[in-house]
Amino acid sequence: MDSIQSGERRRPGRIEVVCGSMFSGKTEELIRRLRRAQFARQKVEIFKPSIDVRYSEADVVSHDRNHIQSTPIDTSASILLLSGDTDVVGIDEAQFFDSGLPDVCNALAYRGVRVIVAGLDMDYKGVPFGPMPALCAIADDVTKVHAVCVRCGALAYVSHRTVDSQRRVLLGETQHYEPLCRECYQKVMQEAKSEEKSAENLVV
Ligand code: ZN
């Protein structure tokens, strides 16, 4: 109340993380929170890695084409330089950023900025992705959102890749992934293993 009476805005800094698999609605949730902040007349800046050029150069675009203007950047350090007098900083596709991102988010939060970070929690093999685990650890609040398993309708656990590739990221290739629950993912991996084995037997 003191800050309001003295004519200053109260600016409590915090870090919120929205994580989940592909098709889980992470970006939609990020956009929802940012829009609410905009309605509250707060200054909002949105950043995304320049590697993510799926639909457009300068928009955070979710799969339902609900979009909001953003700035593509190469390194997390640029966020500190570009966020100036911002109340709320949104960061999308955070899994693609460098390991400096958690420190950047902390620095912003201590500056009084509300930081909202959205990203993939795991890659297609179920391995924690880039700076996401560290961000979840230092966050004030973590929201895990879920897609629906395409095989049984349960809550999905992982974004399973349906094509054979060892590359960690297939950008712009969302049709090559399917959300699976833990049980269906396990079945699919076991089937793939037994197929590999029978193929080996054929060669011998
Ligand atoms: Zn399932």
Q: What angle do CA 118, 119, 125 make, to 5 degrees?
A: 160
Query: CA-to-CA distance for 91 and 27, rounded, in angstroms?
Result: 10
How many A from CA of 191 to the centre of ligand 1? 15
Residue 93 a catalytic site member: yes
Comparing 131 with 201, which gets the higher pLDDT? 131
Q: Is residue 117 part of a domain?
A: yes
How many A from CA of 187 to the centre of ligand 1? 9
pLDDT tens, position by position, 2-23: 444 444 455 689 999 999 999 9
| Tokens 């609605």, located at residue | 25
How many domains is the chain built from?
1
Residue 170: band (very low, low, confident or very high) from pLDDT cuts 50, 70, 90: low
CATH number of the domain encompassing residue 79? 3.40.50.300
Q: Is residue 181 part of a domain?
A: no
**How large is the average pLDDT for residues 160-175?**
74
Amino acid, res. 13: G
How many A from CA of 74 to the centre of ligand 1? 36
Instruction: Look at residue 4 in the predicted model and tell me its pLDDT.
Output: 43
Of 29, 45, 93, 178, the catalytic one is: 93
Q: Is residue 43 part of a domain?
A: yes
Q: Is residue 174 part of a domain?
A: no
pLDDT tens, position by position, 59-101: 565 555 555 778 999 999 999 999 989 999 999 999 999 999 9
Phi, then psi, of 154 in degrees rounded to 5: -75, 175
Instruction: Look at residue 3 in the predicted model and tell me its pLDDT.
Output: 43
Q: Residue 154 pLDDT > 70, yes or no?
A: yes
Mean pLDDT of the chain: 86
What range defines the domain where residue 65 resides?
2-147
The percent of residues above 70 in pLDDT, for the chain, comes to 81
Near ion ligand 1, which residues have CB within 5 Å? 149, 151-152, 154, 181, 184
Q: Is residue 89 part of a domain?
A: yes
How many A from CA of 24 to the centre of ligand 1? 15
Q: What angle do CA 159, 145, 67 make, to 5 degrees?
A: 90
Instruction: Report the 10 Å Cβ neighbour count for 91.
Output: 29
- pTM as predicted: 0.84
